[in-house]
């Protein structure tokens, strides 16, 4: 019924007409059954990648070694992945190799949680081999098969569990949660980037409090860089107002300002992008200065970090006047060094030698203007520069 599935139906029919099986699988099936918006429609098929490429005219090899071929249909790309099993997980992360199989059951068995192991046929029939529909009804995350073994195979699944708990507002079933607590140290085998990506999604979920609480209680937090000694502050963080956070910047700023860790170090160690690190550093510094942030602190934070601080501070202090903060920023006489009525060129023309002193002078003038001690007017600034 969902338009995204509807548009992809001809693909399933074409694969079936060629004599193979094809199903919708994964998160889009789960989210559609929950009535949530869906992202990418994933298709699983008994056809091997080479066979998929013979069925469709336009395909792209996006991940052929994992069995994934992208089929282009009316400008939309659909990932079609061959049924596969993943064998001999030697190192608690990623399989040594994938084996293509013809059986849907084998493919569904290797998936992480029962609600992620549902398959839907083109006629709408749901294939539910592990009780995923019942778990979906009960809003429950249950590992497919033996939880302990599954987390041993791939330790990232433990972070996925707490991420889904927060994202979907599901509870983690008791045995699955016990297996996470038991296997949490295996998280050390997983790349920081993948852990951080799941953790960010946990922070952005609708049930952040539940997700963070399980992250604490299972001991997963001990294996995330810089969080091992932060149990008390993480507990405080879990108790903040539950309203969903709008973006990664505000999520990390809220977290960083609750911890004893420097925001820059926290995010650098988690191998985050420089743009995010910068933003969160500025926003955290400003939040640390509230409610009495000076005009210069507002100026130095810049518009994005001010906006983030205005989002974050009400979580920490519910009666904080966020609009007042934004208004104070808007009211600054200038918002960038470029807004200054004179430039470095003007100072040179007026006789100043290029060099460190010039930069210092401009910064000094900027500070004076921001603080309202000098009017942003060229003759006044030039006079002050040589005073």
Token pair belonging to 178:
């016990």
Q: Which is nearer to ligand ATP, 162 or 256 (CB)?
A: 162
User: Looking at 20-28, 182-190, 314-322, 330-338, which segment touches Mg ion (CB under 5 A)?
Assistant: 20-28
Q: Are 13 and 45 within 8 A, CB to CB?
A: no
Could you identify the residue written with the tokens 């520069």? 385
Is position 95 an interface residue for Mg ion (rule: CB under 5 A)?
Answer: no
Was 163 annotated as part of a binding site?
A: yes
* Percentages (nearest 5) of helix, strand, coil residues in the chain: 55, 10, 35
Other CB atoms within a 10 A radius of the CB of residue 152 amount to 16
The residue whose Cβ lies closest to ligand ATP is: 27
Was 157 annotated as part of a binding site?
A: yes
Q: Are 315 and 244 within 8 A, CB to CB?
A: no
Rounded distance between C-alpha atoms, residue 351 and residue 386, angstroms: 9
User: Looking at 16-24, 26-34, 160-168, 237-245, which segment touches Mg ion (CB under 5 A)?
Assistant: 26-34
Which of Mg ion, ligand ATP, none does 79 bind, CB closer than 5 to 8 A by kind? none
Site for ligand ATP in 305-324 (CB under 6 A): none
Which of ligand ATP, Mg ion, none does 111 bind, CB closer than 5 to 8 A by kind? ligand ATP
- Name the CA dihedral angle for 374, 375, 377, 378, rounded to a multiple of 10 degrees: 0
Was 373 annotated as part of a binding site?
A: no
Rounded distance between C-alpha atoms, residue 222 and residue 247, angstroms: 25
Q: Are 126 and 132 within 8 A, CB to CB?
A: no
User: Looking at 4-12, 19-27, 218-226, 318-326, which segment touches Mg ion (CB under 5 A)?
Assistant: 19-27
Distance of CA 154 to the CA centre of its chain: 20
Nearest to 308 by CA among 267, 257, 274, 264: 257
User: Looking at 64-72, 109-117, 170-178, 207-215, which segment touches ligand ATP (CB under 6 A)?
Assistant: 109-117
Is position 79 an interface residue for ligand ATP (rule: CB under 6 A)?
Answer: no
Is position 157 an interface residue for ligand ATP (rule: CB under 6 A)?
Answer: yes
Q: Are 84 and 69 within 8 A, CB to CB?
A: no
Is position 132 an interface residue for Mg ion (rule: CB under 5 A)?
Answer: no
Is position 116 an interface residue for ligand ATP (rule: CB under 6 A)?
Answer: yes
Was 42 annotated as part of a binding site?
A: yes
Rounded distance between C-alpha atoms, residue 387 and residue 383, angstroms: 6
Was 102 annotated as part of a binding site?
A: no
Q: Which is nearer to ligand ATP, 92 or 299 (CB)?
A: 92
User: Looking at 47-55, 108-116, 173-181, 242-250, which segment touches ligand ATP (CB under 6 A)?
Assistant: 108-116
Rounded distance between C-alpha atoms, residue 41 and residue 3, angstroms: 11
Rounded distance between C-alpha atoms, residue 220 and residue 245, angstroms: 22
Question: Which of 27, 67, 132, 205 touches Mg ion (CB under 5 A)?
Answer: 27
Is position 39 an interface residue for ligand ATP (rule: CB under 6 A)?
Answer: yes
Contacts for 372 with CB less than 8 Å, ≥ 6 apart: 295, 333
Is position 32 an interface residue for ligand ATP (rule: CB under 6 A)?
Answer: no
* Size of residue set near Mg ion by CB under 5 A: 1
Q: Which is nearer to Mg ion, 25 or 283 (CB)?
A: 25
Was 27 annotated as part of a binding site?
A: yes
Is position 30 an interface residue for Mg ion (rule: CB under 5 A)?
Answer: no
Rounded distance between C-alpha atoms, residue 68 and residue 115, angstroms: 22
Please give the span between the terminal C-alpha atoms of the chain, in angstroms, as a whole number.
74
Q: Which is nearer to ligand ATP, 118 or 254 (CB)?
A: 118
Task: Point out which residues bind Mg ion (CB under 5 A).
Answer: 27
Task: Point out which residues bind ligand ATP (CB under 6 A).
Answer: 26-27, 39, 42, 111-112, 116-117, 154, 156-157
List the binding residues: 27, 30, 40, 42, 111, 154, 157, 160, 163
């Amino acid at each position: 019924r969902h338009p995204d599935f509807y548009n992809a139906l001809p693909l399933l029919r074409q694969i079936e007409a060629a004599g193979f099986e094809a199903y919708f699988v994964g998160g889009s099936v789960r989210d559609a059954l929950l009535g949530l918006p869906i992202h990418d429609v994933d298709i699983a098929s008994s056809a091997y990648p080479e066979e998929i490429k013979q069925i469709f005219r336009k395909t792209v090899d996006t991940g052929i070694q994992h069995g994934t071929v992208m089929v282009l249909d009316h400008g939309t790309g659909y990932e079609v992945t061959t049924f596969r099993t993943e064998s001999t997980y030697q190192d608690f992360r990623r399989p040594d190799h994938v084996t293509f199989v013809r059986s849907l059951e084998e493919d569904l068995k290797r998936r992480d949680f029962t609600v992620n192991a549902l398959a839907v046929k083109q006629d709408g029939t749901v294939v539910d081999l592990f009780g995923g529909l019942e778990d979906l009804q009960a809003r429950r995350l249950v590992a497919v098969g033996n939880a302990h073994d599954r987390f041993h195979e791939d330790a990232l699944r433990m972070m996925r569990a707490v991420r889904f708990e927060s994202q979907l507002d599901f509870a983690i079933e008791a045995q699955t949660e016990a297996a996470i607590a038991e296997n949490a140290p295996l998280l050390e085998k997983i790349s920081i980037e993948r852990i951080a990506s799941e953790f960010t999604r946990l922070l952005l979920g609708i049930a952040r409090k539940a997700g963070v609480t399980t992250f604490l209680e299972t001991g997963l937090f001990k294996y995330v860089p810089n969080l091992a000694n932060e149990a008390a502050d993480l507990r405080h963080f879990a108790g903040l107002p539950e309203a969903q956070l709008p973006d990664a910047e505000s999520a990390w700023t809220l977290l960083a300002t609750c911890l004893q860790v420097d925001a820059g170090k926290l995010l650098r160690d988690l191998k985050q992008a420089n743009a995010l690190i910068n933003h969160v550093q500025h926003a955290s510094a400003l939040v640390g200065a509230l409610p009495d942030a000076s005009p210069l602190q507002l100026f130095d934070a810049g518009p994005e970090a001010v906006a983030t601080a205005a989002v974050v501070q009400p979580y920490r202090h519910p009666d904080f006047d966020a609009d007042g903060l934004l208004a104070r920023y808007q009211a600054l006489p200038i918002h960038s060094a470029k807004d200054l009525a004179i430039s470095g060129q003007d100072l040179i023309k007026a006789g100043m030698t290029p060099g460190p002193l010039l930069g210092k002078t401009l910064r000094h003038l900027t500070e004076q203007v921001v603080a309202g001690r000098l009017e942003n007017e060229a003759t006044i600034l030039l006079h002050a520069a040589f005073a």
